[in-house]
Amino acid sequence: MEDLEFDKNLKKAITATERKQQKMFLNSVEKTIEKPKKTNWLIAASIAAIIGLSSYFIFNNQVVSNQELYAKNFTPYENVVVPIVRNNKELTTKALAFAYYELGEYEKAIDLFNQLTSANTTEKITINFYKANAYLMLDNYTDAKELLLPIVKNNKKVWQQESIWYLALTYIKLEDIDNAKLFLQKLQQLKSYKINKVNDLLKSLD
């Protein structure tokens, strides 16, 4: 009788131990199943973060094209020679040319600039400088360049630095980056006209 009771108790103990072991086993299995899920989630989150950061740096550090650099930096030079007088009904050819220039009628301005003749070198340079700007506004970069180059080389230095700036921009538009850098570096050495923009533009072209 005692042996029978002992056997029952032994079986209970073994069963309890087995159940405990099975429970521990099941718990360990569950942890192993959950862990990859957690790991997968962390991996997915990491990948998303990397993609997000990559996109940020790509979009914020894109290489700006030469055409974009030109568009960003080019604006036609303001008419400071013959400002428009609204109540003046009898304009000279020169005044009318600059009026058309100021109003954005660049083809008409060029036609009138071409009619102007003067023995005064400074006035000729002034007309050619504005005519070059008008050509740039009409996307005629070749004629603009041909007008700006002599002004840059002229010893009188009238409109010289301004012309160097527009000539450099013209070369950028024409994808002639070596010449663009050459003229920007000339302006950089002078340390005056648009120096901050010159420095920034040179960095962008490197």
Residue range of the domain that includes 17: 1-62
Report residues of the chain scoring pLDDT below 50.
2, 4, 29-30, 32-39, 41, 54-62
139 vs 126: CA distance, rounded Å:
20
What pLDDT is stored for residue 197 in this prediction?
Answer: 96
Instruction: Say whether 71 sits in a helix, a strand or coil.
Output: helix
Residues 175 and 81 in one domain: yes
Q: What is the mean pLDDT of the chain?
A: 81
Residues 112 and 175 in one domain: yes
Q: What secondary structure letter does DSSP report for 1?
A: -
Same domain, 108 and 95: yes
Whether residue 120 is found in the same domain as residue 27: no
Which pLDDT score, from 0 to 100, does residue 5 have? 54
Within this chain, do residues 43 and 81 fall inside the same structural domain, yes or no?
A: no
Specify whether 29 is located in the same domain as 100. no
Are 75 and 57 contained in the same domain?
A: no
For residues 2 and 4, what is the distance between their CA atoms, to the nearest angstrom?
5
Q: What is the pLDDT of residue 56?
A: 42
DSSP label at 62?
P
**What is the pLDDT, as a whole number, of residue 118?**
85
**How far is residue 195's CA from residue 68's CA, in Å, rounded to a whole number?**
20
What is residue 30's predicted lDDT score, i.e. its pLDDT?
Answer: 46
